[in-house]
Amino acid sequence: MQDNNGFVFYDPYEQPPEPPKKKKKESKPIVMTRKKLFSFALVVILLAGSLSFGGTYLANHLTGGSGDNPSTSADSTGFDLQDATGSKLSVQEVADKAGDSVVEIRTESVSSDAWVREYVTEGAGSGVIIKSNGYILTNNHVIEGASSITVTLANGKEYSAETVGTDSANDVAVLKINAKNLTAATLGNSDQMEVGDMAVIIGNPLGTLGGSVSAGIVSSLNREITLDDTVMNLIQTDASVNPGNSGGGMFNEYGQLVGIVVAKSSGTDVEGLGFAIPINAAAASATEIMENGSIDSNTDAPQEQYSEEGYFFNDGNDSLFDSIWPFSNP
């Protein structure tokens, strides 16, 4: 209240006047055009990509990695042996990936009997393309003594093959056909194999069933087997192996070539025992053969049809016409 002198007094029981309220500013809606939205999204994508690249670079820098598929370069083989990395494949995927690298091999050998009459013995086996320009890895016993060798690719094309050289002690041979741009197998590192790993066999069983696939596991490693009086350290598998599979490929779950099929166990009551040369050993022999030709061996005696240990080992040809059945000691 105000007195006569113009002073203002407030009644303590009277509520003080409320201060004037400020008017709230009305918020304007955010309007984003298509152009602005696209620009914003582009910035977010670029920022995310930069962070991802930076993280990958930092991880590789700290771990010493390169970001590429790692491989083990084994000087003794002359080949880059790929590490077992990546996603594991099914048997079907392994067959699709590796099937074109496996070939059929047919041989003809001319022999004479006691009356100097000549006759032709036919044989069959398998091989694996290891170079896209026509180099093929197989067993020595598949082509030994052959006067002519014919190679049939997975697409049905046939080629006459020449023998580059052999290593009879390790039962390895290298052939060459006049072809280019072939599908070569990816060589794995057999030193990294473990018991229980997948084992896929691709070859030409019975000499008439080219491209056949069988699968199992690695049953044992470094198995000492005596073949033709030579002790070899082989990979044991329970995958089906038959005459004609010799020289074919054993592939792992990544589609990598890890072995060259060499023998099957014999005996009417024995099944599920096949053997392969580890690719590290076979590749080392193949490299020396391609560089220097055949590798000398101290054993000049002809190979026997069966070894003393009861393992099937042909006499120079995986022949369908020789007495190779049954798988038992004579």
pLDDT per residue as tens, the chain (330 positions): 555 555 555 555 555 555 555 555 555 555 556 666 666 666 666 666 555 555 554 444 444 443 344 444 455 566 766 676 678 899 999 999 999 999 999 998 887 766 767 778 889 999 999 999 999 999 999 999 899 999 999 999 999 999 999 999 999 999 999 999 999 999 999 999 999 999 999 999 988 899 999 999 999 999 988 877 788 899 999 999 988 999 999 999 999 999 999 976 655 555 668 999 999 999 999 999 999 888 875 444 333 333 333 333 333 444 332 222 222 233
Q: How crowded is residue 230: how many other Cβ atoms within 10 Å of its Cβ?
A: 17
- Domain, as residue range, for 132: 91-295+303-312
Active-site amino acid positions: 141, 171, 246
Q: What's the total number of domains in the chain?
A: 1
Burial class (CB in 10 A: 0-12, 13-18, 19+), 310: middle
Q: Is 81 helix (H, G, I), strand (E, B) or coil?
A: strand
Classify residue 46: in a domain, yes or no: no
Classify residue 164: in a domain, yes or no: yes
CB distance 202 to 241 below 8 Å: no
CATH of residue 123's domain is: 2.40.10.120
